[in-house]
Amino acid sequence: MFWQRVVLLLLLACCLSISATKIIIIKDARLVPSNTTVVLNALFNITSQYECVCQCLSASQCRTVTYYGYNNTCSLFSTSVKQTWLRRMSSNQSTNVISLDNGTLSSCTTYDFQQPPSLFVTNAGPTAMVSSDFNRDGHIDLAVTNTDAQSVSVFVGLGDGSFDANVLTFPTNGSNPYWLTAGDFNSDGHIDLANCNEGSNTISILFGYDNSSLFSAPTTFLSGGTLPSSIINVDLNNDMKSDLVVTNTGSDKITVFLSNGNGTFQFPGLSMTTLTLPSSVASGDFNYDGKMDLAVASRGTSQLYILFGLGNGTFQSNMSIYSTGSTPYLVRAGDFNGDAVFDVVVGNFYSNSVNVFINNGSGAFNTMYTYTTSIVNPIDIAIHDLNADSIVDLAVSNQGGNITIYYGTGNGTFGLVKSLSSQGQTLKSIIISDLNEDGLDDIAILNRQNNKLAVLLAECI
């Protein structure tokens, strides 16, 4: 019971963004309590936390924490431990860890990414991508929307940075599937997928199965508007269920679908119609009131909208509005200065720039930094610690074909810049994950023009 309470408290604190709770992670985000010696492969029983998924604010607190739950349990970790995988809970605490192979703990303080990348063939028009262990074999898999093939493909990870030759493909029953999100929408403990279909103005949901087929036939419903361009899942009414938020670019609104917890959603969706060509949405508790808020990029007015949540799926009538570069294509949220408050980054397609908005702690973003070096038509941004200094960095996917890394300084600004080749053009979604299970986080990115998935493995130097 003691360990069960520890895990439940840490999960709850993380999901509610309580800054006083720091979490240590090892390798692919398994949790270890502080000042505790634990046995590898141990299981903690859980009760109400479906899939045990929780997002932390920053690498200075913790990285993204994802528990792969099996029969209402959350496993710790399954391979040997390296010293640099540890994240301290605070400066005066430590963690004792037993190595699986009883070998010497090793460290890696500097690493780079392999060039050229490994390339894997996708279906036509790969656009968006999410990662998870969909088949529950302990390895990270990738799910990709194929806009020109009207499908979603799953690349089954082998744990060595490569994928099973048998790429699983699922129809979406919608036209031009675009961005997608992963979550447990029917509360059965399996990861599901939801994507927006731009051509048919619909949302498709693939429910996860615990068998070789992985996903069900798609369930589709109207997106609440036209040209749905992005989709996220977030709990907007504090009921521990994953709600959906969709930007309907063609009808100048965002639509919220509150979850019933059984795979269905409340209709009609709740819509905000005071936006102009909303192109992307991100979530976070920006004003630190325990209620999730939204950041929306408007490519019609080149502005960033902040919508403050009321905790019931609706938002305050007064929005905060900030100017961005020309035609903001995407928005992401993360803690860039280590103050345990969500900041926001925007990628501006036509001004070839990235804007970083720093939160003052109460939801105001009056400090903005602009970066342009090596950026050409930014499409996506991944937020992650890419050099093992416990400070979050930015990895920018550029339509021109390169990946631009901005290394964080810890105070909200970004310094050293690195440019990496993807061996392709018209880049789309980018994610960061440890694909070869060596404790270093790798880069995966989609090349839409040549229908390729590029993987850049991290290596210690």
| Residues sharing a CB contact under 8 Å with residue 19, sequence separation 6 or more, in sequence order | 57, 61, 340, 341
Q: What is the pLDDT, as a whole number, of residue 227?
A: 96
Q: Tell me how far apart the alpha carbons of residues 163 and 461 are, in angstroms, rounded to a whole number.
A: 25
* C-alpha angle 447-351-253 in degrees, rounded to nearest 5: 80
Q: What is the pLDDT, as a whole number, of residue 109?
A: 63
**318-368 pLDDT per residue, tens:** 899 999 999 999 999 999 998 889 999 999 999 999 999 999 999 999 999
- Answer whether residue 81 shows pLDDT above 60: no
Largest CA distance in the chain: 60
More confident position, 48 or 188: 188
**184-230 pLDDT per residue, tens:** 999 988 999 999 999 999 999 999 987 778 999 999 999 999 999 99
**147-167 pLDDT per residue, tens:** 999 999 999 999 999 999 999
Question: pTM surpassing 0.95?
Answer: no
Lowest mean pLDDT among 114-128, 182-196, 425-439: 425-439
Preceding omega of 126 cis (within 30 degrees of 0): no
Residue 51: strand, helix, or coil:
helix
Give the residues across from 452 on adjacent strands: 121, 447
Mean pLDDT of 26-48: 34
The two three-digit tokens of residue 376, written as one number:
């050409």
- Answer whether residue 67 shows pLDDT above 50: no
Residue 324: strand, helix, or coil:
coil
Please state, for a pLDDT cut of 70, what percent of the chain lies above it: 76
pLDDT band at 440 (very low <50, low <70, confident <90, very high): confident
pLDDT band at 232 (very low <50, low <70, confident <90, very high): very high
Lowest mean pLDDT among 1-10, 81-90, 209-218: 81-90
DSSP E strands in 258-386: the ranges are: 270-272, 278-284, 293-298, 303-307, 320-323, 328-334, 343-348, 353-358, 367-371, 378-384
β-pairing, 24-26 with 30-32?
A: antiparallel
Mean pLDDT of 248-272: 93
DSSP state of 148: T
What does the DSSP assignment read for 88-112? Answer: -SSTT---EE--TT---------EE
Q: Tell me how far apart the alpha carbons of residues 67 and 50 are, in angstroms, rounded to a whole number.
A: 10
pLDDT band at 108 (very low <50, low <70, confident <90, very high): low
Q: What is the pLDDT, as a whole number, of residue 275?
A: 87
What does the DSSP assignment read for 193-257? Answer: EEEEETTTTEEEEE-B-SSTT-BPPPEEEE-SSSSEEEEEEE-SSSSSS-EEEEEEGGGTEEEEE
Calculate the average pLDDT of the chain.
Answer: 78
Using an 8 Å Cβ cutoff, are 14 and 67 in contact? no
More confident position, 246 or 100: 246
**387-413 pLDDT per residue, tens:** 878 889 999 999 888 999 999 999 999
- Go through the domains of the chain in sequence order and give each one's CATH number: 2-97 (no CATH), 111-460 (2.130.10.130)
**Cα-based torsion angle of the residue sequence 316, 322, 324, 328 in order, rounded to the nearest 10 degrees:** 10
What does the DSSP assignment read for 371-387? Answer: E-TT-SSEEEEEEE--S
- Answer whether residue 45 shows pLDDT above 70: no
Q: How far is CA 253 from CA 131, 349, 358, 363, in A?
A: 28, 20, 25, 22
Lowest mean pLDDT among 76-80, 363-367, 451-455: 76-80
Q: Tell me how far apart the alpha carbons of residues 218 and 207 are, in angstroms, rounded to a whole number.
A: 7
More confident position, 222 or 34: 222
| CA-atom Rg of the chain in angstroms | 20
Q: What is the pLDDT, as a whole number, of residue 226?
A: 95
* Closest to 247 (Cα-Cα) out of 299, 291, 317, 302: 299
